[in-house]
Amino acid sequence: MLIAEDWALTAAHCVSTANFFVSAGDYDYSDSSANKQFRKANLVMHLGYNRSTNANDIALVRVESAFELNSCVGTVCLPEEDVSSGQSCWITGWGTLSSGGGQPNKLQEAKVEIISNDDCMDNYDYSAGQILPSMICAQGSAKGSPIDACQGDSGGPLVCETDGTWYINGATSWGYGCAAEEYPGVWARVHVFRDWIEESMVNPIEPAKCPDFCSIFSADVDGDCECPYGTQCIREGIERNCPSSAGIGGYASYFSATCEDCTCEEA
């Protein structure tokens, strides 16, 4: 979601590195429309995202050059107030139309209703403490069946309208399956991160750089670099001897960006 001409908001679990492109003005990704604009991602910012709990599943991406804003490309406002339980909002994405199903070529949209965190744990099957303050639950309904985001929608928007203005209140984060009545979808609660977003846009922090022989040019969200496919990290001639976010030798092909004598060799 564009929140400025050169900044996009997404979910942290979507961006392990800055090695990707951001597309704007897209609607049908099978169509090579002149309305589409592509920019190389220059910087990925993130909070202390926790893969185990899905806490702080939010990220900022700065693109290499600003997008041209026009009738097909626009920005969405950061929320001035937190979203309320029972409020109707909209989600969009190119995710699968059912769990494990096929993906559409054209952008889909759906109406959902915000569920309070307490209700999400008390009246549905999420465990106590599983829905954190940095998260939003929501679910829609059509013809008696639940409406939800699904695989491939991650990082996409949950937008809510107030007095004619649309605000980005959520980034698609996680859930159990898709559109299960007992498991509403879960989004990152953007309002919680507003101060961090604004500060990061003014004072961006460069991610650690990786050596040229790596498959990525900047460290991932855990501060690790990745060896090319088919190779693993070696230090001092010993396999699985490299420091990483999982400890010494915790990963075969990942190593800490701060390691000066780590190399990659064929496995």
Catalytic option among 16, 134, 154, 253:
154
Question: Catalytic pick from 6, 13, 218, 244?
Answer: 13
Backbone phi, psi, residue 195, to 5°: -60, -40
231: which residues sit within 8 A by CB, 6+ positions away? 253, 264, 265, 266, 267
* CA–CA dist 148, 180 (Å, integer): 8
Q: Which of 6, 57, 148, 220 is catalytic?
A: 57
Distance CA 156, CA 237 (A): 44
Element (H, E) at 119: helix 117-122
Q: How far apart are CA 232 and CA 240, in angstroms?
A: 8
Whether 154 is catalytic is yes
Q: What is the DSSP string of 162-219?
A: ETTEEEEEEEEEE-SSSSBTTB-EEEEEGGGGHHHHHHHHHS--PPPB--TTSSSSB-
Which residues are tagged catalytic? 13, 57, 154
